[in-house]
A = this chain, B = another copy of it.
Amino acid sequence: MKQQGAVVWFSGFSGAGKSTIAEALTEKLKSEGYQLEVLDGDEVRENLTKDLGFSKEDRDTNLRRIGFVAKLLARNGVIVLAPVISPYRAIREEMRANIDNFVEVFVNAPISVCEERDVKGLYKKVRAGEIKQFTGISDPYEPPTNPEVECRTDLEEISESADKIFKKIKELGYIS
């Protein structure tokens, strides 16, 4: 399959469904023979950003490192999926300015829905006061103003969300 490198950047609350959609999209792309990498939180944090916390500055540094790696991969023809909360608009715009073929996906669900899901048990810890800085509760989240794709995960199925992104990447000419 013909492909260009591209970076699909998933922004949204913890529990909004970023990684789950990235997984579904991975399946779909792989089944059609495309080459991709998922820069998911755990592997990246272990290997690139173990030293960082969750202050604004540390979050920005974290995202800049992910962006740097994503850019290197993308300019070598790889489709990169980056499911990362990335709450601040300025840093996402910086990524967009620095990276060719940048696709911003807003993974959107009301915070109450995300908290109800609480897949990783993090919201419980926030409410218990064990986590201080938490996006959407005690820390800001600045929603994308003009994302290439918006997925309303409280209203649509995971497969619908993945399909929307797949179609957008195709429409943009990054896959054929």
Which residues from chain B contact A65 at a C-beta distance below 8 Å? 47-48
- A1-22: CB near B (< 8 Å → 1, else 0) gives 0000000000000000000000
Check B73–A47 contact: CB distance below 8 A.
no
Which residues from chain B contact A68 at a C-beta distance below 8 Å? 47-48
Report the nearest B residue to A37, measured CB to CB: B72
Q: Does A69 count as interface, using CB distance less than 8 angstroms?
A: yes
Copies in the complex: 2
For residue A74, give the distance in angstroms from its CB to the closest CB of chain B.
Answer: 10
For residue A40, give the distance in angstroms from its CB to the closest CB of chain B.
Answer: 12
- A101-117: CB near B (< 8 Å → 1, else 0) gives 00000000000000000
Check A35–B69 contact: CB distance below 8 A.
no
In the complex, A68 Cα to B44 Cα: how many Å? 9
Q: Does A164 count as interface, using CB distance less than 8 angstroms?
A: no
In the complex, A51 Cα to B51 Cα: how many Å? 9
Report the nearest B residue to A39, measured CB to CB: B72
Enumerate chain A interface residues (CB-CB to B < 8 A): 35, 37, 47-48, 50-51, 61, 64-65, 68-69, 72-73, 76-78
